[in-house]
Structure 1
Amino acid sequence: MAEALSAPGAFGPEQMTLSTELLQALTAGDKVRLVDMLSDEARTASHVAIDVNGAGASPGAVSPPRVGTSCRLLGVASNGNTALHLVASRGHAELAALICEKAPSLVAARNMCLDTLLHCAARAGHREVAECLLSAMRAGGAEEAAALRARNRQGATSLYEAVRHGCAGVVDAFMTASPELASGTNDDGVSVLYLAVSIESHRMVRALLRRSPDGAPSPASFTGPEGRTAMHVAAACCKGMVMEILAWKPEGPTLLTKVDSSGKSPLHFAVLHHNLDVVELLLNVEASLVRISDKDGLYPLHAVAMVGSTRIIDELIEKCHDYYEMVDDKGRNFLHCAVEHARDMVVDHICRNDKFDMLLNATDDEGNTPLHLAVKHGHPRIVTLLLQTTSVKTCIINKNGLTVIDLAHKELRSGSNYFLDPHRIVFNCLYSSGPTFYTVEGIQLLRVKDRPATETEASMKEDGMTKTGTIASVLIATVAFAAAFTVPGGFIADDHPNADTMAFVCSIVATSFLIYGGAREIPPNHRSRYNRLASGLVPVGVQFMLAAFAFGLHLVLVLICAMFIVAIVLEITLPNY
């Protein structure tokens, strides 16, 4: 059948096409002109019926004649559209009723895309045409009934096309005339109800879930892709959609506990989309939803910790007082998940509430505490928040025998040497406030503040020398500044740099190195390197400054001598004056 419909003209033995005059009347909706053409045909032509569906034994097979069929209407356009397809897609309801009367065999016709007349009317949103065609199809035989439920090449029914194009009026007409159409799905297993909820059309959802006149509940299907239901997508959308489905009795409330292929319930979807009002509604209807975990063992509490909503966390905890017992397949509680996903707001919220103390030092299956994970993933902000909490222990050892400072050192060695690298910042933070001892390749080391007094004094002495060097370099720069840019003897003199200028440059560079190297945030090896460079530049600057002063003093003495010589000469040569 599909092969018969795949080529133009596979609708009759003579592959008739619609005449230009008839096409103009159909597309323009000119009923008077169409009636005149059909009247002329009735006087000159006989009636014959043609199988327009290609459903016979071979393409174009002739079906038994039907009384009243007009031969002129049995042609097709180039894409296989019949006269009814053309008027249905353009919304000409009167012409559709007339053609259904004159050529009833066209009611079940399908074009090259396997679209029925209802597909065209539904896609264009013409409710009156859809009602006319629905009436004609329901009054027909088995062939028309099959066309009512037919799918096109995209696997979509006519009702699915109406929902997909947002034609609420057509959906209402379908559900009034044939509510059983809502029980079907497309080839991907997506129901019309799931689609209507996903595009957030309240009107279409109400039409699909409306009870029939005899009081029977709607037969609508609720299935969606990957095992999800309409309730899953409603929980991700808004509270109104959830209420619409909950009002669908008795099917709606049962969807609350259904899970998708990954094991997620509608509550998981609500928390993942930050829908606090939906979370409150779902928990008020079914509080046990908070205890449903997915295939990875993740409860809604884990999911909300990953997205970072503290208000939803408080709402879930009110319905589940043993939240500290809820761990996933890796033994992690929701604080572990918040740390791994860098949700510092959640971590801060937990650290500020004493009721969460049991979570702070809990270990997962690998023996890692939340602080271990913060160190491993390099989250300085979270490490700081946890260390500020007095109940957090830094001496806990994981399965690999590592404390948090051990783990920090391990991550530091595998990272970069950049001083703003997150793992380096974490290590420095733990190094100054962590456990008294840590191990590096089996050697036990002491913390900085627990080292012998001689080392501390040496460090203080180094800081004092740095301050002294900074003061000296600043004084040199101050003294040399004016002389370096004063003419004569400015920045360039006699095609070579002035000594004052060189003293000024050396002192400025040395000052910069000393300030940078004096910062506590700089790694110790970097500090010592810059201090050594500065200690070499300061003496050079002093030497250039002394040379400049010596040169200046030399010039002054030369001028004084010259003045004395001139005075003596004048006294000798001009005795009478």
Structure 2
Amino acid sequence: MMMVVVANQAAPVEKHHQGNMDPQLLALASSGTSEKLQALLNGEDGQASSHGSGNDGGLTTRRASSYGDTEANESILAGITAEGDTALHVVAACGQGDDFSTRRWCWCLTRSKRHALTTYGDGDNFLQSACIIYEKAKHLLFVQNNKGDTPLHCAARAGKSKMVARLIELAEGEDRMKEFLRKENKHKETALNEAVRVGNKDIVDLLMMKDSELASFPEDGSASPMYLAIVLKRDEIVKTLYDKSSRGMLSFSGPNGQNALHAAVLRYRTRDLAKLLKWNETHLCLQNKDLATQRDENGSTPLHFAAAIKFLFRPSRICRQVLEANADALYQPDHAGFFPIHVAASVGAFRNVDMFIKKCPGSAGLRDAKGRTFLHVAVDKKSVSIISGACRNLSLSWIMNMVDNDGNTALHLAVKAESIHMFSRLLENPQVNLNLPNNRWETPLDTAQYKLMPKGAFFF
């Protein structure tokens, strides 16, 4: 018995693929040729694109315009690039904004050419092109590409302040301005983050003027505009974000649980540090969090980072500032059980250790997860300066014989390290006990004898 299979002769459904933007549309959008773009979208250009998706899409679009401009416009403007950019994304992103510098090439350019170069991408033709596309397909203003960027993200990233202003005007016309400004991409960043990143103060001013709460986004703990401004050393923008934010609506959050104070300490930004600590006192920061005691994903506070800044003849100025802001941070351990005094001891920052003890004498006895004091850590890291300073300070005699989780005193560890320098420094303090056994019932003397015993020796 023979079975005959008849193929379905119906025309295949045309799917929407990435990368199918009409080449002529892409070229006109990229160059800001507004008159030709208007003609193309009005169906006045009779020439079909020979490229496209391979199915005569360009020609079909032009012919469709004779049956209805709306359908034709939607058809050609529905195309996107491989990155998911619409024509409005392309217009918003192409060229450079008003922050572009020609200083390097000014010697070979005439004044008119310099002006043309610095305004290319933010000129009237590009602005007009954006309006033309918007009038034909208003929904494109809010479309996000593969990275989650809206046309506003693209314009801000390119430093195009006039384009940013024009796009905001269009969103205001739909009464959706705040929604537009607060739109986040896949990196959880708004257009304000992009403006901060490129250092365009004009765009930052404009965005903050339109929405005084914009610097409180993102809300999930990603890098805030203020954090970025601190990291990138944008001093003027730091002040702008503070001055133009609504009270209590300024986020200092950063990645990995850090905040802007962590960033200022890590980058030795003393001026930013002073500002942040002052603002912290006014409780302006979002959710009234104390920046000085906030811990990152590793449990480290800004003071943990500041404690590691080492100077030979004086305590770190940054460390002093953070400590004075909130001394309670001295009693906050990280997830490894390290307190700031342990961090300072581990890097040999003797002046910081001394400052901590003078400020809070009780911090000298703080133990980490292994039961070690800062003196144990100093011996472990062979920091003779810290050991000497601690042993000469008779007020610290009470920690000299403190033991870790293995029952070892600092003297046990010095003997195990076979360091005569550390051993002799510890003995300078009369309170050091030579006869304390550890958990293995070994005194420092026993440990020394084992160290002196020849390898392979045995007794009957």
Q: State the TM-score, normalized to the length of structure 1.
A: 0.57
| Alpha carbons of structure 1 residues 370 and 218: separation in structure 2 relative to 1, 3 Å | same
Check 1:228–1:36 CA distance in 2 against 1; reply closer, same or farther (3 A cut): closer
Query: What secondary structure does 1:257 align onto?
Result: coil
- Which residue is equivalent to 1:563? none
- How far the C-alpha of 1:321 sits from its partner, in A, is 2.7
Q: Is the 8 A contact 1:267 1:300 kept in 2?
A: yes
Is the 1:108–1:117 Cα contact (8 Å) retained in structure 2?
yes
- Output one character per residue of 1:194-214: Cα deviation in whole Å (capped at 9) or x when no partner: 3333333323322332334xx
1:253-402 equivalent positions in 2, closer than 5 A: 254-274=290-310, 276-387=316-427, 389=429, 391-402=431-442
Whether the aligned pair in 1 keeps the contact of 2:43 and 2:69 (CA below 8 Å) is no
Give deviations 1:231-277, integer Å, cap 9, x for gaps.
23323333222222234332347222323344432222211234811
Q: Check whether the contact 2:42–2:69 (CA below 8 A) recurs between aligned residues.
A: no
1:44 is displaced (CA, Å) by: 4.6
Match of 2:18 among 4, 7, 31: 7
Q: Contact 1:18 / 1:73 at 8 angstroms: preserved in 2?
A: no
Secondary structure in structure 2 of the residue aligned to 1:395: coil
Task: Please say if 1:244 is aligned against 2:284.
Answer: no
Quickly say closer, same or farther: Cα 1:134–1:379, change in 2 above 3 A.
farther
Q: How does 1:134-533 map to 2 (within 5 A)?
A: 134-142=168-176, 146-185=179-218, 189-212=222-245, 216-217=246-247, 219-237=249-267, 238-248=269-279, 249-252=282-285, 254-274=290-310, 276-387=316-427, 389=429, 391-410=431-450
Distance 1:331 1:231, change over 3 A: same
Where do 5+ consecutive residues of structure 2 fail to align?
A: 1-14, 46-67, 98-120
Aligned to 1:427: none
Cα distance, 1:338 vs structure 2:
1.0
- Give the whole-Å Cα distance in 1 for the aligned partners of 2:337 and 2:424: 29
- Looking at structure 1, the residues matched to 29 and 373 of structure 2 have their Cα atoms a distance apart, in angstroms, of 68
Q: Per the alignment, do residues 256 and 40 of structure 1 end up closer, same or farther by CA in structure 2, a change over 3 Å counting?
A: closer
Residue 389 to residue 284, structure 1, CA distance change in 2 (3 Å): closer
Question: Which residue of 2 is the match for residue 83 of structure 1?
Answer: 87
Pick from 74, 93, 107 the counterpart of residue 141 of structure 2: 107
Give, in whole Å, the separation in 2 of the partners of 1:5 and 1:165.
34
Q: Which amino acid aligns with 1:107?
A: L
Partner of 1:508: none
CA distance in 2, matches of 1:411, 1:392: 21
Q: Which amino acid aligns with 1:259?
A: R
Q: Which has the larger radius of gyration?
A: 1
Q: Which has the higher contact order (CA 8 A, sep 6+)?
A: 2
% identity of equivalent residues:
30
Find the counterpart in structure 2 of residue 117 from structure 1.
151
The count of corresponding residues between Structure 1 and Structure 2 is 385
CA contact (8 A) 2:153 2:191 kept: yes
Contact 1:18/1:77 (<8 A) preserved: no
Q: Which residue of 2 aligns with 1:35?
A: 35
Gaps in structure 1 of 5+ consecutive residues: 10-15, 46-64, 418-439, 444-577
Displacement of 1:293 in angstroms is 3.2
Aligned partner letter, 2:239 = R
Question: Aligned-residue CA RMSD in angstroms?
Answer: 3.9
For residue 187 of structure 1, report the CA deviation from its aligned partner.
7.7
With over 3 angstroms needed to count, the CA separation of the structure-2 counterparts of 1:24 and 1:294, relative to structure 1, is: closer
Tell which deviates more after alignment, 199-208 or 384-393: 384-393
